[in-house]
Amino acid sequence: MDLAALTIFRAVVRENGVTRAAAKLNRVQSNVTTRIKQLEEQLGTELFIRDGRRLVLTPAGETLLSYAERLLALADEARHAVKDARPSGRLRLGTMESVAATRLPGLLAQYHQTWPDVALELETGTTGKLIERVREFEVDAAIVSRPLDPASLGDLFEIVPVYREELVMLSPRGHRPILDPRDIALSTLVAFEQGCAYRIYVENWYMQHGVRPARVLELGSYHAIVACVAAGAGVAVAPRSVLALLPESNDIAVHTPEGLGSIDTLLIWRRGHFSSALNALRGMLVESSHADDTVKATMAMAV
């Protein structure tokens, strides 16, 4: 069992068939089929169930896929470790939508200009989903909010704090001041789907005061969330940093309730799964965080 065979096996799974896998790998179909059969013979078990034109993973195939992902990721890390340290190759980064909208545009432009040999792929999601994608080697690293229970990350991940976000509560303009959940006149919480760390924080904040929203309206973007709040559909929680980007923010009131406070934003990756491309990104994120802290300190002194 060699890395080339594992690469072919993974491609067949990802491309959902031999034909697309062969095209992806620039191999002929017969070669891909032969290598899969040889791998099955070496392991003494079938990896796929052949259902007409479809290939369905067997339980043994599911087990091997997890190991293949780890072995190929480790091999890629080893290649980076022994070659020139200049960042190159592919870097798959997951991030929360709020960070993608507010923190990353300028930083990623700088990153592309500084390290043009890195093919950086970006995807957004909730903190819960992003942690799982890092766990399963589906992204190399992710920018997430610190979970309510930091111990839930365990020892599997390396963690670097990069930003600190102030959480604020949003209501329709004209709503009375909100210091705790009992001041909220609207029964609906407008939020991202389950897995959003900010939603978990605000729901926990409700529970600490013996209150819970009557319903949660789940939406997929801050533009939609703020628009619904402005229209009177409910209240929401968001990082203060996103408000400057939203035209609807002129039609809402911003509250700073007791108990919400500020939440750390983290860069996480699987322990031992590191590369020069990720190291370069980490350096830029930390530098950006320090610059942000300096600006805030200067503004505070001016006030």
pLDDT digits (tens, 9 = 90+) for 50-83: 777 778 899 998 999 988 988 888 887 677 666 5
Q: Using alpha carbons only, give the angle 209, 214, 217 rounded to the nearest 5 degrees.
A: 115
Specify the pLDDT at position 84.
Answer: 54
Separation CA 287–CA 162 (nearest Å)? 9
Token pair, residue 55, equals 């290939």
Section 280-287 average pLDDT:
93
> 155 and 93: one domain?
yes
Q: Which of 232, 247, 262 is the last residue of a domain?
A: 262
> 148 and 275: one domain?
yes
Band of residue 239 on the pLDDT scale cut at 50, 70, 90? very high
Q: Per-residue pLDDT for 298 more than 80?
A: no
The neighbour count for residue 202, using CB atoms within 10 Å, is: 24
Specify the pLDDT at position 261.
Answer: 86
Specify the pLDDT at position 54.
Answer: 76
Q: Whole-structure pTM over 0.75, yes or no?
A: no
- The more confident residue out of 43 and 274 is 43
Considering the chain, what is the average pLDDT of its residues? 87
CB distance 10 to 2 below 8 Å: no
* Nearest CA among 205, 213, 129 for reference residue 167: 205
> 157 and 294: one domain?
yes
> 198 and 187: one domain?
yes
Section 193-219 average pLDDT:
93
Strand segments, DSSP code E, in the chain are 48-51, 54-57, 89-95, 118-124, 141-145, 157-172, 188-191, 215-218, 236-239, 252-255, 262-270
Specify the pLDDT at position 144.
Answer: 96
Using a pLDDT cut of 90, give the percent of the chain over it: 55
CATH number of the CATH domain containing 139: 3.40.190.10
Q: Which of 56, 82, 108 is the last residue of a domain?
A: 82
> 118 and 136: one domain?
yes
* Nearest CA among 74, 56, 122 for reference residue 95: 122
Token pair, residue 80, equals 């980076």
Specify the pLDDT at position 299.
Answer: 37
The predicted-structure confidence for 173-200, as pLDDT tens digits, reads as follows 999 999 999 999 999 999 999 999 999 9
The predicted-structure confidence for 76-134, as pLDDT tens digits, reads as follows 767 766 655 688 888 999 999 999 999 999 999 999 999 999 999 999 999 999 999 99
**Number of folded domains in the chain?**
3
Separation CA 37–CA 23 (nearest Å)? 18
Q: Which of 82, 111, 131 is the last residue of a domain?
A: 82
Q: Per-residue pLDDT for 147 more than 90?
A: no
> 243 and 253: one domain?
yes
CA distances from 248 to 105, 190, 225, 226, 267 (A): 21, 15, 10, 6, 30
Label the pairing between strands 141-145 and 262-270: antiparallel
> 57 and 205: one domain?
no
CB distance 96 to 125 below 8 Å: yes
> 182 and 255: one domain?
yes
Specify the pLDDT at position 253.
Answer: 93
> 129 and 245: one domain?
no
CB distance 22 to 32 below 8 Å: yes
> 239 and 288: one domain?
no
Section 1-23 average pLDDT:
88
Specify the pLDDT at position 297.
Answer: 41
> 209 and 229: one domain?
yes
For 239, the domain range is: 165-262
> 72 and 129: one domain?
no
- The more confident residue out of 156 and 246 is 156
Q: Per-residue pLDDT for 302 more than 60?
A: no
